[in-house]
A and B are shown apart, each in its own frame.
Chain A
């Protein structure tokens, strides 16, 4: 493993254009408290505007991996740079990095005591310190974009799963992040609601957002992804364009996984 200094990475990151790397993971290793070796040396780069789909069997470490990108999980070895900033173990301004990285969870995790509109306005007001009027204007725009405008005054508990997940996307987008992480955003949804969420994600990808998506939705991966990676047992097994990944994968592990889900 070659140690790359912060400066070198900084230089590459300053490169503009579509190939500017937004996330760099270098030989990331992580152990859970019970000494379970969950990430066993994962390296990966996501460039600006790219949509990366992460697939893999349950328990392979996908969630853990993408949660290291906004420091919801720590890691013990290797390096992760997000938008040029090293996520070290003692990073001071963890909140500053989290502002640049939006995350959408499998269980939506909306704040049930706040209305839909308040959910979306909360972080811009308290973290970005926007005036209320501006936060509300942006929030309403986003709610319109995800098709929930009429429900703005309702509470999350009064919405369907698909609607809640779209609110969660709007909530993350309200911070105007540079990167969006999705951890199985449609896995907790009834089948008839999967589509409305995927449509929102597709249009987000079309708008040029850098996205890392953990999902089992093969259709979405085929159409939207720039690259698909397979994660198994804490390692990245295969990395390819969707074309190659689904039609002619090289690794046995990938073939086995695809035979199980297709």
Chain B
């Protein structure tokens, strides 16, 4: 909310000298109009901020959060099986830490200022989290695991060649372990998806949809560039049809129409139908993002690969796609963030993800009218995850940058 204009290009680079007053004068009070705007906007901000704080500390009744914290985070997942979710949390923390350490193995410092601030914020969150003491301790434990694994990953990255491939395998394997822990079976008590809920369900649906729509989007993008007319036509048709239909329509079709076509025993439950809908929808958009990257690769790259004797498949796999994906990272992550936010639509088709469970909490007579508290709380959660994704995207981009 600044009122400044970019300095003209003929101006000398701004110097740091002059201190606060000079900075204020240059950026906020450089003419009388900007001065007035600055004062007016500051006054408004202060007023909004004060009102919010007043509300937050005097009017708001935050008890709706701690009273329902289990619902927010895991829905109706059975109480005595929580250890399985903590095991997943720990596993993901370790793998994330290792990956982080390995990605950052060649940087000067692992725990940079930003990294320390993030870890610190996680720690603070763990301390003030509206949850029982054991949960908070377990959460803090996971944060420590994350940091320790990051440190370990950096050491491994230096000493073990080809560690990147191992960590990729570990992620793939962990997916099956996570599914097993979540759903049960094979010796564990089984928990049906109807009992998953809240943030757990939001994350599950998002992660699985992202994992599925990514390869599908890449294939569609390649199909759209294919030299085979049939493949090209089908890809274009798919992409353009899906992009012409609103997501909510696709979700309704998934929830209400698919059961009509399939016999009783074969109907996938509604969580998997939701994942199907989100995946089919996002893949079309992702395909367009990847296509943008593909088109940005100079022709010479393909020619050089062909001249070396690489066949078209190898040329795509080794030369074109890696570069195209690298260019598309911001757009792809943007699409992932949209997908994550789009999971809120599932509350309309009666899936109790984070927003759905919040609505059911608000329907409880003892919490009637607590809209502001509840929506603010889950809003912060959504923001946190989106922000983490965009930080991750910038990290990956930086680590793939080969021009210095």
Contact = CB atoms under 8 A, between A and B. Distances in A.
Q: How large is the interface on B (under 10, 10 to 19, 20 to 34, 35 or more residues)?
A: 20 to 34
B227 interface: no
A198 interface: no
A158 interface: yes
Interface in B318-348: 318-319, 322-323, 326
A113 B308 contact: no
A153 to B, nearest CB: 11
A159 B68 CA distance: 59
B187 interface: no
Contacts of B301: 109, 111
A48 B393 CA distance: 53
A70 B304 CA distance: 11
Contacts of B307: 70, 72, 98, 101-103, 105, 172
Contacts of A112: 323, 402-403
A175 B309 contact: yes
Interface in A93-140: 95-96, 98-99, 101-103, 105, 107, 109-113, 122-123, 126-127
A30 interface: no
A220 interface: no
Interface in B208-227: none
Contacts of B326: 113
Interface in B177-197: none
Interface string B362-404: 0000000000000000000000000000000000000010111
A246 interface: no
A158 B310 contact: no
A105 B306 contact: no
Contacts of A113: 322-323, 326, 400, 402
Interface string B269-312: 00000000000000000000000000000101101111111110
Given A112-B403, A155-B403, A158-B404, A126 B303 contact: no
A246 B298 CA distance: 37
A59 interface: no
Q: A72, A110, A123, A168 — which one has the most chain B CB atoms within 10 A of its CB?
A: A123
Contact of A109 (B300, B311, B314, B322): B300
Interface residues of A, number: 28
Q: A96, A111, A168, A175 — which one has the most chain B CB atoms within 10 A of its CB?
A: A111
Q: A113, A122, A156, A158 — which one has the most chain B CB atoms within 10 A of its CB?
A: A113
A102 B305 CA distance: 11
14 contacts: A72-B303, A72-B306, A95-B310, A98-B309, A101-B307, A105-B300, A105-B307, A109-B301, A110-B304, A111-B301, A113-B326, A123-B309, A157-B402, A175-B309
Interface in A142-171: 155-158, 168, 171
7 pairs of A and B residues whose beta carbons are closest in the complex: A157-B403, A109-B304, A155-B402, A123-B308, A99-B309, A109-B300, A103-B307
Given A111-B323, A127-B309, 17 more contacts: A70-B306, A98-B308, A101-B307, A102-B308, A109-B301, A111-B305, A112-B323, A112-B403, A113-B323, A122-B308, A122-B318, A127-B314, A155-B402, A157-B402, A172-B307, A175-B308, A175-B309
